[in-house]
């Protein structure tokens, strides 16, 4: 590769932290210096925010890279840190979870309530024969029992493996078998899009294929009829009748806390293993630092599902270890109407919101009137995670949700990193729309070229992490070699994240998406993210996905799939005019080299269930191939819509 990744998009807008927020911020600029002076001492100090049953002897053992051990010799209990210590400190009556069911039913759980339920679930699991080190699969909707199930496993030292409730029989049974799980915790179903959506039938089929499962614990949520087998136990008859007394035993800092499978588009999913002390240290610290959480006054809401790492780290472990009050919502954002999220913010007075670019762009498409109808003045910090956030989506988020004043923290991390790695600090960092800015204190991220050399400011290349961090994955479950090959072999001595990135002239970081999504057009590397951002910056565009299609003259050519905003006329002639305008707009914004060969106006984009665009399928369409595997699509009909659109000549 002769040239480095493109550096086309110019972004000059800057937003300084509000003065009052900056003055009262949990973490100030000196944290960067402190961590730079002595990284391990910095992390040891953050570990000290937790309650340890036994102090560690060594902060980091990196004698056998890439296998790290953090807080060697230390012992703690994760559930104790998330629950008991708050209750013991007199905060038992504080609300932990304001839960909102999709049909409108609600539950309020204080820290005492959550503690009692978790003790009961820990006792029930123990009675079912679960012991420390066993694996427990969790396949639940977004109900408080999901958090309780995870905490109960942590409390008894069982390793949980949460499987997203939208996944199929094969996905569930594959994950159960890979980890040899002994128990599954599930529900009859949950509510989605205004109706009950069953889970138990999927579990029944998966369990039939999974001989290691001894027991199935079933929460009753929808009340729908379910088939019942010998291994099944109702949660309300087992957990809710168990003793509320349970003493948490401390576990080694490196005790396996959970396995979470990354989806993996073609290959077998990777079971990412996280452990106890380092993971809790970094999720707890980053939640405190990046969201500036004030546990006494803030109301925090992360809209992710518990089946993703965001739900693990920033619904369960980070917020609860910090004693936060949070909102948990069961359902979809447009049930019963497109303003549901904003009604929830208004109702609970949410102050800190954490969501994903895909949702922000969907909200843009739906229109400004929905957020405008609710009182969002309580919001003081807005977070984004999961994909690069296009500058225009960032601006829309700031203006329409953050009343043009709340800082946006664009947080880069991965299932593998366990916790946020790159992000602004809301009271410190002046932000730029679309940039995740700087590595957090104690994190050494860099951008390197093909040879592994650090690129200068203004350059682009591959995102790497140079030093181990507390919440890093410890391995891929059962496959150390794959762990080494996937992350530690591309650049010796560095963790390869698989993302393209650039440093701007100030040294701030811009994430460009997966390396596989970089296009090579007439010898220039152009990132799909930058072209997408240019398209979304046009007032008629709500969402865009860009792929590189094989082209006889340019090697690859840029093909864009674009969703017009709700109010835009894009039929027939008007559509042709818009397409020409958009091609010219990209050429003007990024330069003629980035002008798409073809733009298609579509109604939807193919996304995974976690909201990531499946460019692989769009590439199939652009190159007139038959479609690859569509089983991980959120909505399998969207590909028909897209192919139909193409046939009509757009
Ligand atoms: C990949 C990791 C981290 C929790 C949810 C996703 C992309 C994530 C950002 C961001 C640009 C981002 C990267 C990364 N990504 N956050 N703020 N800016 N890209 O976890 O499913 O493991 O995906 O998501 O490509 O590698 P995941």
| pLDDT of 375 over the 50 cut | yes
Residue 83 neighbours by CB under 8 Å, 6+ apart: 111, 114, 115, 118, 151, 320
Is 265's C-beta closer than 6 angstroms to any atom of ligand 1? no
Sign of dihedral through CA atoms 650, 366, 620, 517? positive
| pLDDT of 419 over the 80 cut | yes
Least confident of 117-126, 576-585, 616-625: 616-625
Is 411's C-beta closer than 6 angstroms to any atom of ligand 1? yes
| pLDDT of 572 over the 90 cut | no
CA 25/CA 438 separation, integer angstroms: 17
Q: How is residue 435 written in tokens?
A: 């940039």
Q: Are 182 and 134 in contact (CB under 8 A)?
A: yes
Whole-model pTM: value is: 0.91
Q: pLDDT at position 435, please?
A: 97
Residue of 637 and 2 predicted with greater confidence: 637
pLDDT per residue over 240-288, tens digit each? Answer: 999 999 999 999 999 999 999 986 555 688 999 999 999 999 999 999 9
What's the mean pLDDT when you consider all of the chain? 93
| pLDDT of 9 over the 80 cut | no
Q: Which residue(s) pair with 196 in the sheet?
A: 191
| pLDDT of 118 over the 90 cut | yes
Confidence grade of residue 515 (pLDDT, cut at 50, 70, 90)? confident
Is 420's C-beta closer than 6 angstroms to any atom of ligand 1? no
User: 297: CA distance to ligand 1 center in Å?
Assistant: 29
Is 78's C-beta closer than 6 angstroms to any atom of ligand 1? no
CA 164/CA 446 separation, integer angstroms: 32
Mutate to test the pocket of ligand 1, among 511, 529, 608 (most ligand atoms within 8 A of CB): 511
Least confident of 242-246, 347-351, 445-449, 550-554: 550-554
User: Which residue, chain included where needed, has tokens 């190159």?
Assistant: 623
| pLDDT of 650 over the 60 cut | no
pLDDT per residue over 172-207, tens digit each? Answer: 999 999 999 999 999 999 999 999 999 999 999 999
Q: pLDDT at position 629, please?
A: 65
User: 514: CA distance to ligand 1 center in Å?
Assistant: 9
| CA–CA distances in Å: residue 624 to residues 576, 606, 615, 618 | 21, 16, 14, 10
Closest atom, ligand 1, to C-alpha of 512? 11
User: Which residue, chain included where needed, has tokens 């819509």?
Assistant: 641
| CA–CA distances in Å: residue 424 to residues 285, 427, 539 | 14, 9, 27
User: 643: CA distance to ligand 1 center in Å?
Assistant: 28
Confidence grade of residue 647 (pLDDT, cut at 50, 70, 90)? very low
DSSP annotation string for 496-513? EEEEEEEE-TTS-EEEEE
Angle (deg, nearest 10), helices 572-590 and 528-536: 120
The answer on whether 442 is annotated among ligand-binding residues is no
| ipTM field | 0.99
Burial category of 10 from C-beta neighbours within 10 Å (exposed 0-12, middle 13-18, buried 19 and up): exposed
Q: pLDDT at position 6, please?
A: 52
Q: pLDDT at position 226, please?
A: 98
| pLDDT of 237 over the 70 cut | yes
User: 420: CA distance to ligand 1 center in Å?
Assistant: 10
Residue of 540 and 4 predicted with greater confidence: 540
User: 70: CA distance to ligand 1 center in Å?
Assistant: 24
| CA–CA distances in Å: residue 182 to residues 189, 586, 642 | 21, 54, 43
Is 339's C-beta closer than 6 angstroms to any atom of ligand 1? no
| pLDDT of 8 over the 70 cut | no
Q: pLDDT at position 167, please?
A: 87
Is 434's C-beta closer than 6 angstroms to any atom of ligand 1? no
- Helices (H), ranges, 509-637: 528-536, 572-590, 615-622
pLDDT per residue over 544-571, tens digit each? Answer: 999 999 988 888 999 999 999 888 888 8
CA 45/CA 3 separation, integer angstroms: 42
Is 497's C-beta closer than 6 angstroms to any atom of ligand 1? yes
Angle (deg, nearest 10), helices 169-179 and 200-208: 50
Is 385's C-beta closer than 6 angstroms to any atom of ligand 1? yes
User: 414: CA distance to ligand 1 center in Å?
Assistant: 5
Is 262's C-beta closer than 6 angstroms to any atom of ligand 1? yes
Confidence grade of residue 1 (pLDDT, cut at 50, 70, 90)? very low
Mutate to test the pocket of ligand 1, among 264, 384, 385 (most ligand atoms within 8 A of CB): 385
Closest atom, ligand 1, to C-alpha of 420? 3
pLDDT per residue over 32-84, tens digit each? Answer: 999 999 999 999 999 999 999 999 999 999 999 999 999 999 999 999 999 99
Q: How is residue 405 written in tokens?
A: 């004043």
Confidence grade of residue 364 (pLDDT, cut at 50, 70, 90)? very high
Question: Domains (ranges, CATH) in the chain?
Answer: 522-648 (3.30.300.30)
């Amino acid at each position: 590769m002769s040239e480095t990744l493109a550096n086309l998009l110019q972004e000059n807008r800057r937003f300084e932290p509000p003065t009052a927020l900056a003055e009262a911020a949990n973490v100030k600029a000196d944290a960067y210096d402190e961590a730079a002076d002595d990284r391990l001492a910095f992390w040891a100090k953050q570990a000290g925010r937790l309650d340890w049953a036994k102090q560690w002897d060594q902060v980091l053992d990196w004698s056998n890279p890439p296998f790290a051990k953090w807080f060697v010799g230390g012992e703690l209990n994760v559930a104790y840190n998330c629950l008991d210590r708050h209750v013991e400190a007199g905060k038992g009556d504080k609300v932990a979870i304001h839960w909102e069911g999709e049909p409108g039913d609600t539950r309020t759980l204080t820290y005492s309530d959550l503690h009692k339920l978790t003790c009961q679930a820990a006792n029930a699991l123990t009675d079912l024969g679960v012991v420390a080190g066993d694996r427990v699969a969790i396949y639940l909707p977004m109900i408080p029992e999901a958090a309780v199930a995870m905490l109960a496993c942590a409390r008894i030292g069982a390793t949980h493996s949460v499987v997203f409730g939208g996944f199929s029989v094969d996905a569930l049974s594959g994950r159960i078998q890979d980890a040899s799980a002994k128990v599954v915790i599930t529900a009859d179903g949950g509510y989605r899009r205004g109706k009950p959506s069953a889970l138990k039938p999927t579990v029944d089929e998966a369990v039939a294929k999974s001989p290691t499962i001894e027991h199935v614990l079933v929460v009753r949520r929808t009340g729908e009829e379910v088939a019942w087998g010998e291994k099944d136990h109702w949660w309300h008859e087992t957990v809710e009748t168990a003793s509320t007394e349970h003493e948490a035993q401390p576990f080694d800092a490196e005790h396996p806390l959970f396995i979470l499978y990354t989806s993996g588009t073609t290959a077998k999913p990777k079971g990412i293993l996280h452990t106890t002390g380092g993971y809790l240290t970094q999720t707890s610290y980053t939640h405190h630092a990046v969201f500036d959480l004030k546990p006494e006054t803030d109301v925090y809401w992360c809209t992710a599902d518990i089946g993703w790492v965001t739900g693990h780290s920033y619904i369960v472990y980070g917020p609860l270890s910090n004693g936060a009050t949070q909102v948990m919502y069961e359902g979809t954002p447009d049930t019963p109407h497109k303003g549901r999220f904003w009604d929830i913010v208004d109702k609970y007075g949410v102050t800190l919101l954490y969501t994903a670019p895909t949702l922000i762009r969907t909200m843009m498409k739906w229109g400004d009137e929905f957020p405008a109808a609710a009182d969002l003045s309580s919001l003081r910090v807005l977070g984004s995670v999961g994909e690069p956030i296009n500058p225009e989506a960032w601006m829309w988020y700031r203006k329409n949700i953050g009343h043009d004043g709340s800082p946006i923290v664009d947080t880069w991390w991965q299932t593998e990193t366990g916790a946020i790695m790159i992000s602004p600090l809301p009271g410190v960092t002046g932000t730029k729309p679309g940039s995740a800015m700087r590595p957090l204190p104690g994190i050494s991220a860099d951008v390197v070229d093909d040879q592994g050399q650090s690129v200068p400011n203004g350059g682009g290349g591959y995102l790497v992490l140079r030093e181990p961090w507390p919440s890093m994955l410890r391995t891929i479950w059962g496959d150390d070699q794959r762990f080494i090959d996937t992350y530690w072999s591309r650049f010796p001595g560095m963790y390869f994240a698989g993302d393209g990135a650039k440093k701007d002239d100030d040294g701030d970081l811009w994430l460009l998406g997966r390396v596989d999504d970089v296009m090579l057009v007439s010898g220039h590397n152009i990132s799909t993210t930058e072209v997408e951002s240019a398209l979304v910056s046009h007032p008629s565009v709500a969402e865009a996905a860009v792929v590189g299609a094989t082209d006889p003259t340019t090697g690859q050519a840029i093909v864009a799939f674009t969703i017009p905003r709700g109010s835009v006329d894009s039929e027939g002639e008007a559509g042709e005019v818009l397409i020409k305008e958009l091609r010219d707009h990209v050429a003007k914004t990024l330069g003629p080299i980035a002008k798409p060969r073809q733009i298609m106006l579509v109604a939807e984009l193919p996304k995974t269930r976690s909201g990531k665009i499946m460019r692989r399928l769009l590439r199939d369409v652009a190159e007139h191939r038959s479609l690859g595997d569509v089983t991980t699509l959120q909505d399998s009909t969207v590909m028909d819509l897209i192919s139909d659109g193409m046939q009509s000549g757009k």
